[in-house]
Amino acid sequence: MPVTDTQAMISGMTPVLQPGTWVFCTMAAPKPVEMSYAFATIREAEGITLILPRDVAQAAGQDVSVVMALITLEVFSDLEGVGLTAAVATALADAGISCNVVAAYHHDHIFVGEQDADRAVSVLKDLQKAASKP
């Protein structure tokens, strides 16, 4: 059952660092093999954004200079829930960590610079603990 309460979403978010590294790239006409490896695809006026594993992006000739780590928030947050993205982005911003959030049906996924991954997980776990206190 999706969680809608802000405090419950934050206290139950359980951030998990996923294996691998990711690159955001854009292509006018991605090949089926690239599409099959994409974590997400987003159609924009300028082209199709793909979030690809670094090795797949590199093999496709994409710029791989900005490498991201993926943190999944394990709470099943409701698409109409309010405040989770703001709380996560604010906590990471306060720690000087940039993030890109991709909300999917079951979970929210946070992309941070590879070099910030462990620190970001720590910041998010601290946020979760603070939200769990009565």
User: Domain residues of the chain, as ranges?
Assistant: 1-18+67-134, 22-63
Rounded-to-integer distance, Cα 7 and Cα 46, Å: 37
Inform me whether the pLDDT recorded for 3 exceeds 80. Answer: no
The pLDDT-based confidence of 23 (bands split at 50, 70, 90) is very high
Span 29-43, average pLDDT? 92
Angle (nearest 5°) at CA 102 between 101 and 108: 90
Do strands 47-53 and 22-27 pair parallel, antiparallel, or not at all (unpaired)? antiparallel
Longest Cα separation, the chain: 51
Indicate if the pLDDT at residue 2 is higher than 80.
Answer: no
pLDDT attached to residue 26: 93
> SS3 for 54-117, per residue?
HHHHHHCCCCCCCCEEEEEECCCECCCCCCHHHHHHHHHHHCCCCEEEEECCCCEEEEEEHHHH
pTM of the model: 0.92
What SS3 class is residue 21? coil
- For the segment 51-77, what is each residue's pLDDT rounded down to a tens digit? 999 999 999 999 999 999 999 999 888
Architecture (CATH level 2) of domain 1-18+67-134: 2-Layer Sandwich (3.30)
pLDDT at 22 over 90: yes
- Which pLDDT does position 125 carry in this prediction? 97
